[in-house]
Structure 1
Amino acid sequence: MDTLLSRVVWSALTSRQHRFSRGGNLALKFDPDVSPFAASKDNSPEALAALADLMSPKDPPVYLLQADEIALPSSLKVEMTALGVLMTEQTSQPKAIPKAPIVPLQQRDIAEMVSLADLTKPGPFTKRTPELGQFYGVRLDGRLAAMAGTRLNLDGFTEISGICTHPDFRGRGLASDLSIWVASKIRKRGDTPFLHAYADNDGAIALYRKLGFEIWSEVNVAVVRRLEGSAD
């Protein structure tokens, strides 16, 4: 468990989500149209050089996410760093009747999903992110009021992600209902649900604890890009 979750992006790209991967034996990234995440196998000079080789200066930045310390070659520039937490479900919640109907989101809902993610910033989300897993939503007054789904998928673990509620519909418990709903789907197929939050987001962490999640580890987040004219 420790090894898989310490470099969770690497674990996903070398197991169940390998079909989305670009790279080789030492470093991998998701197809950038699907997700901006990338990872190296370890912090060896060879792996870090391979990570840099996945990018060109013209590419958009990539996101690194891991419990292990993030080390970078000189050819990569850091645009942002943050501390997060990885939380795993320790106590499952009963699947109560949701306060509003929860429906599977489909291809026709993509534009609304991207719009909601752009507004609420639950994390990187593109029009192809839903290819990583099933998303569910709540519609109120003919609008997508809230959603949540699955993103990183590795042996034995599936991540709940994209949890967000439109500001017009907050305070109704929709995020809790959706999180419980998605977690129940994950458990049904035999996986342990996990999720991420920024370490300073006390409200989100408190909510997830109420839903039965506990912090497994702090995680490091970095947004990096390749420098012009660099070579390792």
Structure 2
Amino acid sequence: MNSLEEKLKNPVWYSLQETHKKFLIEYDGVQFYNPEINNFGAFFNAEKTPGALTQYAEKADKFFLVSEDGVPNINTDTTILEKKIDGCQMVLENLTEVTITEELVLLTEKHINEVYDLIWLVMPGFYQKRGFEMGKFFGIFKDNKLVAISGQRMQTDDFIEISSVVTHPNYTKRGYAKQLIYHTSKDIIKENKLPMLHTNKGNLAIPLYEKLGFKLSRDMNWWLFSKK
């Protein structure tokens, strides 16, 4: 049995081995999400990645391999490495208490289009509409529209990743993200799992995460590919 620490080092891999196994597409030992759900993949053996990337590129226009420190190999005749995003992983150490002043709503399938539209407005390109199936999403509504979200993405038997934390540009600086992250974290803790998240290095949101009790744990890098 793999430890929590081992799973955190390769979160995409173990999510697809456990909670998200139904979304798994595998090519010669390299694992990917069904691209209708998510466009992440993971590997252990970089010798396997050139052929796997070539095959997955037939299903997804743009996609990622996620790795702490592994460097994937590619077939430059079939695959383009567009960029490497330097990210980091944060795990919850001690959740800081937050006063909830807003109504936090558990979102349902009837909100899928609103979730998709808000995420693409704030963070275009990194979310598939069926990503809603990966976990719970909570939201805040103002003026009869969804203006802030916190969701769940990768997850195993031991951890759940907080993701899709977005606020409409017209409703920022009101503490919505803080309340949603806190609420989502408490919900994860109720399942006896560890809240964790990923972000870009230098993200201005990192101090907020740290105030809520998250700590930086490791680098976690995204290699962005497309079909040649």
- TM-score, normalised to structure 2's length? 0.91
Q: Structure 1's 87 and 131: CA in aligned 2 closer, same or farther, altered over 3 A?
A: same
Query: What is the SS of the residue equivalent to 2:88?
Result: strand
Q: Distance in 2 between matches of 1:127 and 1:101?
A: 24
Cα distance, 1:50 vs structure 2: 4.7
Extract unaligned runs of 5+ from structure 1. Answer: 228-232
1:18 to 18, 21, 25: 21
- Residue 68 of structure 2 is matched in structure 1 by 67
Query: What is the SS of the residue equivalent to 2:73?
Result: coil
1:26-58 CA deviation, whole Å, 9 max, x = no partner? 111111011011112332x1x224522532457
- Residue 100 of structure 2 is matched in structure 1 by 98
Which is worse superposed, 186-195 or 18-27? 18-27
- Residue 141 of structure 1 is matched in structure 2 by 143
Cα distance, 1:17 vs structure 2: 0.6
2:197 equivalent to 1:213: no
Query: What is the SS of the residue equivalent to 2:163?
Result: strand
- Residue 230 of structure 1 is matched in structure 2 by none
Native 8 Å contact 2:43 2:49 kept in 1: yes
Native 8 Å contact 1:148 1:179 kept in 2: yes
Native 8 Å contact 2:96 2:211 kept in 1: no
2:195 maps to amino acid: P
Runs of 4+ more than 3 Å apart: 56-59
Paired residues, what number? Answer: 223
Q: Structure 1's 58 and 22: CA in aligned 2 closer, same or farther, altered over 3 A?
A: closer
Q: How does 1:1-232 map to 2 (within 5 A)?
A: 1-24=4-27, 26-43=29-46, 45=47, 47-56=48-57, 59-75=60-76, 76-94=79-97, 96-121=98-123, 124-201=126-203, 203-227=204-228
Percent sequence identity is 27
Cα distance, 1:92 vs structure 2: 1.6
Q: CA RMSD in A?
A: 1.7
Native 8 Å contact 1:62 1:223 kept in 2: yes
1:174-194 CA deviation, whole Å, 9 max, x = no partner? 000000000000000100000
